[in-house]
Structure 1
Amino acid sequence: MIEYGGSGDPSRSLALLWRTTERQSRGAKPALTVDRIVRAAIELADQEGLAALSMRRVAEQLGVGTMSIYTHVPGKGELLDVMVDTVYGETTRPDMDGRSWRERLDQVARENLALYSRHPWLLHVQTTRPPLGPNLIAKYDYELRAVTVTGLSEVEMDAVLTLVLQYVHGAARVSVEKTQAERVTGMTDNDWWAAHQPFLAQIGDAEKYPVAATVGATAGAAFDGTIDPDFAFEFGLSRLLDGIEVFVSRSADRPSRPAP
């Protein structure tokens, strides 16, 4: 199931994201607030996935009537935008001074992987039209600082960050899907291989597919299954940063453009 960020009314989403219309009470704090609603929605999505997310279910989670939710949040589209922006605020952002751009990008990658691990439903939110909230902008600004020391152009800096974030998104899907497959099927990778082992000799013709047979058997034994998400992440991130390092080095050798 894929949900699309930015599908709500822009003016209402932005008002919620920046809390420009939430009323401030001088007396006792109201029993229901946007923050409480969003937190309940995030907890629901964490526990049951985006398929379970609805205004009615959030209301049940809070023990209130569904219509009372609508007095604070106009709809599911706007709610999803605020959920995404809220969890974006969870990434830690240590001081980058004195660290190389490679160390900085490594930190950015690991923080985003951890974010997907805490909130797997994020993998099912399409954010090419991102929620333009305070946490997203702060996250983007911080993560761009990882490559400010590279000498790349602004467009190249944005492209490098996008490349790293897209890599993490793909790596996180592998890790999350492996965990979910075991939970849903009740079968570990070892169980799955044991069940299929008797049939491998019939379909895995080593003479016809010699490379697949050799590499598959060796990798399967090394990973004790089809794939080790941790190894795959570490290997892929290192190779990705190696490639960026080559690009940064070549960019440093480019002649500077004359001033207009």
Structure 2
Amino acid sequence: MSAEPGNSFAGKVALVTGGSSGIGLATARAFLEQGASVALCGRSPERGHAAAESLRGLGDVEFFPADVTSEDAVARLMTNVLARFGRLDHAFNNAANTDAATGAGGFSDMTLAEFEGIVRASLTSVWLCLKHELPALLRNGGTVVNTSSMDAQLRMPGTGSYAAAKAGVEALTVAAAKEFAARGVRINAIRPGAIRTPMLEKNLQGTTKADRQAKLDRYHSLIALGRIGEPHEIADTVLWLSAPQSSYVTGQVITVDGAMGL
């Protein structure tokens, strides 16, 4: 469970990209429970509208379909969010391409198109969101949290393109934070470890139950806490980074991984 319902974000508007499942959905729920209105964004209208409907009883939420790798789509998203809610106070740039994360291969096997696709899905999309969110955030001050990955730190064989893109997200976060701190916008990133999301489930797929269990046991053996993380544990971190309690925190990459090591 995430934090108890309250009004820490009453009167605020939060945008959550990649909000129809996993970490994004958990974070949208947490924002709503704390009194914020929430704009959900995702590529699939069917999944997005279903996610918004599942949250409807918690507060004011609306789904906006958008492919955040397209600048036209991101610009249109922001126009629609501001038309619907009138402001933007918090942005969680969390959209991810599952195929990009799980399909990254060795350098010699990857085509230029595949490499550029992974970078566009994981890094360019964050830059596009920041570019179009910041004008609205600058009006009243606000926060941004970008999603990185432990792959940016571990840099394991076969993850080079994805790891490089996520490392780029971290560098972009710090640079942007320094540029906009004096103007009232705080920008941070989270670096999740193994979290129980659809992306992780895809990584755990095996030909048999035993194969899947072996992969799960491997994860557990690498994590000091001995378990997979839950989406709400990332959501709680995002809300803290968005709240006044973290008012002196900007330009940081916060690792939430249960102490993972190799």
Q: Is the shorter-chain TM-score for this pair beyond 0.5, marking a shared fold?
A: no
Higher helix fraction (1 or 2): 1
Give the TM-score taking structure 2 as reference length.
0.31
Higher strand fraction (1 or 2): 2
Bigger radius of gyration, 1 or 2? 1
